Amino acid sequence: MTTAPADTPPNEPGRPRRGGARLLRRRLAPYTLIAPTLALLGTFLLFPIGTVLYDSLRHDNPTEPWDNGFAGLDNFRRLLHDSTFWSSLAFTGKWVVLEVALQLALGLALALMLNETFVGRSVARALVFSPWAVSGVLTTSIWLLLYNPATGVLHYLSRLGVGSPSTAVLSDPSTVVWAAVLAELWRGVPFFAILLLADLQSIPKELYEASSVDGAGRTRRFVHVTLPHLRDAVVLATLLRGVWEFNNVDLLYTLTGGGPAGQTTTLPLYVAQTARNSYDFGYGSALTTAAFVILLFFCIVYLRLSKFGEER
């Protein structure tokens, strides 16, 4: 988007004119620029959050209208004694830790490999990163095909003598968690790989050359140059991904629906079920508030680690 300099009016700002109006315009400029953002976030994010906090203190269930109204801390008392809340929270924790740890390990390995120079590297990158663009529902569709006992990959493997025939991994309580974890890994690893590869490429080559001259081998260079440089990116990516996996709904919702027998129900899934199936909006809001409190903790750690406020 270029404009010919010839049509610039002679008194365009750039050299001092009457001070007051210009100064005011300068002062107001950043606020004008962020105004649309503030309007959007205020209306569709902050206001709804306020509603959730308020509703968590109310009985709000259209199927029990006689009970509706302000309820104080009733919902939270109920929450403390709700075993489904605790079991869904426990599974959420397990899910987040498994996903983040495995994605980080595999993502780092991939980033290191894709950072080397070899013929076909850009093709390899595009291939390996591509599942990242795929949504939760699409991931589900793909893995449903793969996991299908009659026609899936396992069926073919069993014909080759690997594994037992017709294992329904998604309805077997002993395998369902791992089946879901694997499907999510498939699309989650590229996130770490992309981010860490980007960070690897920002390491100055001189650092490696210097440490080579000093006689450091491959391992020492990795430990003393690569790892320290990656630390910030690893920490931030881990935290962000942890929160995203905490909030991940679409994959589990469509792949397992939280089953079998609530085995793969995360806290957000439990909230969705409470609101959608039993219309208990007050209690759903209390569950959401509990999730907010947990996420707030992550938020504080994140802000600390991202050194918020220092030089921005």
Partner 1 sequence: MSAAAVRTTRRRRSDGRMLRLFVPLAAYTLFTIVPFYWMLLFAVRPDGSTSLVPWPLTRRNFVTVWDTLGYSVFVRNSVLIAVITLLFVTVVALMGGYALARFRFAGRKAFILMLLCTQFVPGAMMLIPLFTVFKSLGLIDSRWSVIIAETTFQLPLAMILMSGFIRNVPMELEESAMVDGCGRIRAFLAVVLPLLRPGIVAVGSFAFIGAWNNFLFALMFLDDPTKQTIPVGLSSTIGENTVDFGALAAGGVVAAVPVVLVFAVVQRFLVQGLSAGAVKG
17-76: contacts with partner 1 (CB under 8 A)? 27, 29-31, 33-34, 36-38, 40-41, 43-45, 47-49, 51-52, 55
Q: Is 305 in the site for partner 1 (CB under 8 A)?
A: no
Binders of partner 1 among 149-208, rule CB under 8 A? 151-153, 156, 186, 194-195, 197-202
Nearest to partner 1 of 124, 216 (CB atom): 124
Does residue 102 interact with partner 1 by CB under 8 A? no
Q: What are phi and psi of 51, to 5 degrees?
A: -60, -40
> Is 13 among the residues that bind partner 1 (CB under 8 A)?
yes
* Distance from C-alpha of 203 to C-alpha of 122, rounded to nearest angstrom: 19
Cα separation, 69 vs 54, in Å, equals 11
**Under the criterion CB under 8 A, does residue 106 sit at the interface with partner 1?**
yes
Question: Residues 241-280: x/- map of binding to partner 1 (CB under 8 A)?
Answer: --x--xx-xx---x-------------x--xx--x-----
Q: Does 105 bind partner 1 (CB under 8 A)?
A: no
Q: Is 130 in the site for partner 1 (CB under 8 A)?
A: yes
Please count the other Cβ atoms lying within 10 Å of the Cβ belonging to residue 90: 12
Residues binding partner 1: what is the number (CB under 8 A)? 103
Question: Is residue 118 involved in binding partner 1 (CB under 8 A)?
Answer: yes
| Distance separating alpha carbons of residues 218 and 189, to the nearest angstrom | 24
- Residue from 68, 163, 221, 298 touching partner 1 (CB under 8 A): that is 298
119: region left, alpha or beta (phi > 0 left; psi from -120 to 50 alpha): beta
Helices (H), 58-201: 74-80, 83-114, 121-129, 136-147, 153-159, 176-201
Is residue 92 helix, strand or coil?
A: helix
